[in-house]
Structure 1
Amino acid sequence: MRARCTEVSAPAEAKRPREREVICANPTGLHRMAYREWGDPGNPRVLVCVHGLTRSGRDFDRAAAALSDVYRVVCPDVVGRGRSDRLPDPNRYVLPQYVADMVTLIARLDVPTVDWFGTSMGGLIGMALAGLPGSPVRKLLMNDIGPHIEPDALERIGSYVGQSMRFATLDEGIAYAASLASTFGPLTADEWREINTPLIRQRADGAWEFGYDPAIAVPFRAVTPEAGAAAEAALWRLFAAIEGPVLVVRGEQSDLLSRETVSKMIDCGRSVQSVEIPGVGHAPAFLDPAQIAVARQFFV
């Protein structure tokens, strides 16, 4: 099956990303989730790449292009981010809604199984989906995330998520986004521009702002210690139930995913391996060819 997929001669347009969208349901109505698709649209071998909390599917442009020789690569903007709609009820910016949206997306793609590449929040969504009975997730790469998140990292994220920011220029917004994501690694100015430009939009008054819905912070900030502990326990149960291979990628300097958590994931999981990316924190950006090679070796 793998050989047949790699031997397909894709048309020229299949080598360029295609803008798509799918209609998903929420308790008060419907919303649109946008996604980018790379590779042969007829390839039954699909890789779903899902971004972090305040990011967008454009974070995966380089990795998607690199892996589109083997996969049909699908990079959604999680609801409330990027080109996707915002939810009318901010309390729905939670894992069950995100998982439900991804189930709808996979149904739209019309394939029985997918592989999953998730960074931070995207890894949690993949883990929650992969741990369900009858899950379509075949292989799962979790980029700098696990069932336990270090409290200091949660505090750091909470200090900026949902904050109303205005920028005089696009360059100012790109630079500020780079300061928030400085632990991604020693990226060049062009690389920061590449992954951060899609995060910034211009307002009617000419100023610039982050394009994600600031209301994503509402459920994030409403979590009590008791609710957080219960959620973590549920995530550990889901993780232990995952049947397929899992690769846990950790940034060497990550403040979010500890080495202790990685060790516990290896111990309690069914088929778990790990790799540590030197010189970066949370989370490896997977722009560097060496990092993309880590994903290719696992998936291909």
Structure 2
Amino acid sequence: MQHLEWIRVDALDMAVRIWHPGARRTLVAWHGLARHGGDFAELAHRLGPEWRVLAPDTPGRGLSSWSPRPERDYTYARYAEVARALLDHFALARVAWLGTSMGGLLGLRLAAEPATASRIERLVLNDIGPEMAPDGLAELGDYFSRSHQFTSFRELEAELRHHYAGFGIENDDSWRRLALESARRLPDGRWSFHYDPQISAQFVHDTPRDLWRDWATLTCPLMVIRGAHSPLLAATTLARMAEIQPQLITLEAAGCGHAPFLDRDDQVTAIADFLACHTPQRRDL
């Protein structure tokens, strides 16, 4: 991260991590349910100085405010308001959007809504789609509805490596850095993760939405990255997505589950090609 800005949305402060702030082109990179914008550091580095990468910490995560009203603020409708505030703050009339899991569904929503569709110039979904495998979704809901506290930092790192094995991270230094950026110390001296435990409120309070209808309405260039062993985005779902959107570009990330960390050369190269392409053709890797 080279720069940090804050956006005020009502009573919430949202931190936005920025790489290459002077670059000509901009990519909004939005993280998954219990992660934060720092996850995109390696992607931003590998994309290079021609791309300004804006990676917010969704309220309740990372450096952003925790909400006193999780039933209202930890929902996709609220995240969409926060996203519009980000687009307005940086005067982004049209921008490329890359979203991992929750961040991808948020981008899908923005690209489908008449009020914001024109502002999403192209969309990359990282291991998410209009339909999520029920078992994988139930596992996520169960995991994040429970408190996670550890007596030592080593225990926290071990749990992080286990739960996020699907990221496909391949070296100890990256795991240690991820753990350092994901930890917070509790008043009693124990350790926990950076996020507000109440973020699971969205599983209870969010309003169901017809995501397949949203997917069918999209008109911007589209790319989907799927972890080869994803428990959330089934291969059959991706095939149906391609039938509905025939120009869809797909990438299967070998050795990954949910969700590829986007830190490997083949993943970043495919994303960079898609972002730079004015008339994308199907590309299955």
Query: Is the TM-score greater than 0.5?
Result: yes
Equivalent residue for 2:122?
Answer: 139
2:272 equivalent to 1:296: yes
Of 102, 117, 123 in structure 1, the residue corresponding to residue 83 of structure 2 is: 102
C-alpha displacement of 1:222: 5.5
Q: 179-188 or 263-272: which moved more?
A: 263-272
State whether residues 248 and 274 of structure 1, in contact with CA within 8 Å, keep that contact through their aligned partners in structure 2. Answer: yes
Equivalent residue for 1:274?
Answer: 250
Letter in 2 for 1:164: S
Letter in 2 for 1:18: H
Letter in 2 for 1:266: A
Letter in 2 for 1:187: E
C-alpha displacement of 1:191: 1.2
- Within-5 A mapping of 1:211-226: 211-221=194-204
State whether residues 57 and 76 of structure 1, in contact with CA within 8 Å, keep that contact through their aligned partners in structure 2. Answer: yes
Superposed CA offset, 1:189-234 (max 9, x none): 21112223222111222211112111111231467xxx6xx52x2x
Residue 150 of structure 2 aligns to a residue whose secondary structure is coil
2:51 equivalent to 1:51: no
State whether residues 46 and 113 of structure 1, in contact with CA within 8 Å, keep that contact through their aligned partners in structure 2. Answer: no
Residue 138 of structure 1 aligns to a residue whose secondary structure is strand
C-alpha displacement of 1:45: 1.8
Unaligned runs of 5+ in 1: 1-15
- Within-5 A mapping of 1:6-85: 17-25=2-10, 30-41=11-22, 43-85=23-65
2:223 equivalent to 1:247: yes
Could you tell me how far apart the structure 1 residues matched to 2:266 and 2:248 are? 21
Equivalent residue for 2:109?
Answer: 128
State whether residues 162 and 213 of structure 1, in contact with CA within 8 Å, keep that contact through their aligned partners in structure 2. Answer: no
Could you tell me how far apart the structure 2 residues matched to 1:138 and 1:201 are? 36
State whether residues 100 and 125 of structure 2, in contact with CA within 8 Å, keep that contact through their aligned partners in structure 1. Answer: yes
Letter in 1 for 2:88: A
Letter in 2 for 1:61: A
Letter in 2 for 1:220: F
Could you tell me how far apart the structure 2 residues matched to 1:244 and 1:202 are? 43
Report the number of matched residues: 273
Letter in 2 for 1:107: D
Q: 69-78 or 143-152: which moved more?
A: 69-78
- Within-5 A mapping of 1:160-239: 160-221=143-204, 230-231=208-209, 233=210, 235-239=211-215
Residue 163 of structure 1 aligns to a residue whose secondary structure is coil
Q: 171-180 or 239-248: which moved more?
A: 171-180
State whether residues 138 and 245 of structure 1, in contact with CA within 8 Å, keep that contact through their aligned partners in structure 2. Answer: yes
C-alpha displacement of 1:44: 4.5
C-alpha displacement of 1:162: 3.3
State whether residues 26 and 95 of structure 2, in contact with CA within 8 Å, keep that contact through their aligned partners in structure 1. Answer: yes
Equivalent residue for 1:261?
Answer: 237
Unaligned runs of 5+ in 2: 277-285
- CA RMSD, 1 decimal: 1.7
Identity fraction in percent:
34
State whether residues 117 and 142 of structure 1, in contact with CA within 8 Å, keep that contact through their aligned partners in structure 2. Answer: yes
C-alpha displacement of 1:54: 0.6
Q: 50-59 or 212-221: which moved more?
A: 212-221
State whether residues 97 and 107 of structure 2, in contact with CA within 8 Å, keep that contact through their aligned partners in structure 1. Answer: yes
State whether residues 241 and 269 of structure 1, in contact with CA within 8 Å, keep that contact through their aligned partners in structure 2. Answer: no
State whether residues 44 and 111 of structure 1, in contact with CA within 8 Å, keep that contact through their aligned partners in structure 2. Answer: no
Superposed CA offset, 1:91-133 (max 9, x none): 1211111111011001111121110111111100111011122
Could you tell me how far apart the structure 1 residues matched to 2:32 and 2:181 are? 14
Residue 143 of structure 2 aligns to a residue whose secondary structure is coil
